[in-house]
Amino acid sequence: MNVTSPMLLRLAAERATGALLRDRGTLYLADGQVVHAESPSSPGLEVLLTASGRLRPEGWREAVDRAGAKGLVGRFLIDSGQLAGGELELCHLSALHDAAFFVLGPSSGPTRFRYGVVHWMGPVHAVPTDRVEREAARRRELLDRLWPYDSVDSAPVVRADRGPASPVTPRQRSVMALADGTKTPQDIARALGRPAFHTLVDIRRLAAAGAVETPRAPAPVPSVPAWVADVGADQDVALLIRLRDALEAAL
């Protein structure tokens, strides 16, 4: 069971409101249900909305500037006609589950809860905590079935020298185009404006097909033993002495 389950069960039973902080992100609860999730490993809601062209970046900034302090950014986007309610709800749920997948992943850090903290987005759609946990577990099991090596989840990925063992989809080709050995899956997700989990699914499938891999570490440069260096230095000195003696004899 996930290590946060006992705390989440207790917070849900308490109908608590606040922020659950872990080392990979934050879950925001209202009345014991998850209303928002954020993670550095997941593109935020604004990335999903603006990268798709559904919302202008200046429209997002205006909403945050004018309604962020009131915690009504979502309401402002709808009332100003920039988004329909259904559009915002669908995109918000996608961002919530995407971030929650990382927040509820394996963690070595402490878990803390700050009561009373609310998110500046405001109410959009609340999800029961047990449903959020089940979805996170389902996604982790899916990734393990696709390719049971999680090294491709956080390291930069690169196109393999050999071609893929099976045809790739247009969506996967766009991922491969950015697999240059410097970008992590999270970098690729942000560049494409897609949820990070969906990008991980593509990358694990491509890894299973032999199309991408994590870059190999450079081979270590063999160190020169101290005695070799000393011999080399002695030989240089001996050569200089012979050159000096030859010059003196010629004068």
| pLDDT score for 110 | 86
| 220 within some domain | no
Strand-pairing partners, residue 127, are: 34
User: How do residues 16-55 score in pLDDT, each as one tens digit?
Assistant: 999 999 999 999 999 999 999 999 999 999 999 998 888 9
| pLDDT score for 231 | 47
CA pair distance 150, 197, nearest whole angstrom = 13
The last residue of one of the domains, among 77, 112, 137, is 137
248 pLDDT more than 90: no
143 and 160 Cβ atoms separated by less than 8 Å: no
Number of structural domains in the chain: 2
Quickly state the pLDDT bin for 239 (edges 50, 70, 90): low
Residue ranges making up the domain that contains 197? 150-213
Q: What is the DSSP string of 149-183?
A: -GGGGTS--EE-SSPPSS---HHHHHHHHH-BSS-
Q: Are residues 73 and 171 in the same domain?
A: no
Torsion angle of C-alpha atoms 123, 127, 132, 134, degrees rounded to 10: -170
| 243 within some domain | no
Quickly state the pLDDT bin for 228 (edges 50, 70, 90): very low
| 85 within some domain | yes
| 142 within some domain | no
| 237 within some domain | no
2 pLDDT more than 50: no
| 154 within some domain | yes
Strands (E) across the chain are located at 18-22, 25-30, 33-38, 112-115, 127-128, 158-159, 212-213
Mean pLDDT score of the chain: 87
| 90 within some domain | yes
Q: Are residues 182 and 114 in the same domain?
A: no
The last residue of one of the domains, among 213, 228, 246, is 213
User: How do residues 120-167 score in pLDDT, each as one tens digit?
Assistant: 999 999 999 999 999 999 999 999 999 999 888 999 999 998 767 678
| 158 within some domain | yes
Quickly state the pLDDT bin for 168 (edges 50, 70, 90): confident
Percentage of the chain with pLDDT > 90? 69
User: How do residues 180-198 score in pLDDT, each as one tens digit?
Assistant: 999 999 999 999 999 999 9
Burial class (CB in 10 A: 0-12, 13-18, 19+), 209: middle
Torsion angle of C-alpha atoms 187, 155, 157, 215, degrees rounded to 10: 140
Q: Are residues 158 and 130 in the same domain?
A: no
Q: Are residues 202 and 178 in the same domain?
A: yes
Q: Are residues 192 and 126 in the same domain?
A: no
CA pair distance 181, 214, nearest whole angstrom = 7
| pLDDT score for 250 | 52
Q: Are residues 114 and 40 in the same domain?
A: yes
134 and 97 Cβ atoms separated by less than 8 Å: no
Q: Of 13-17, 164-168, 219-223, where does the model show the most confidence?
A: 13-17
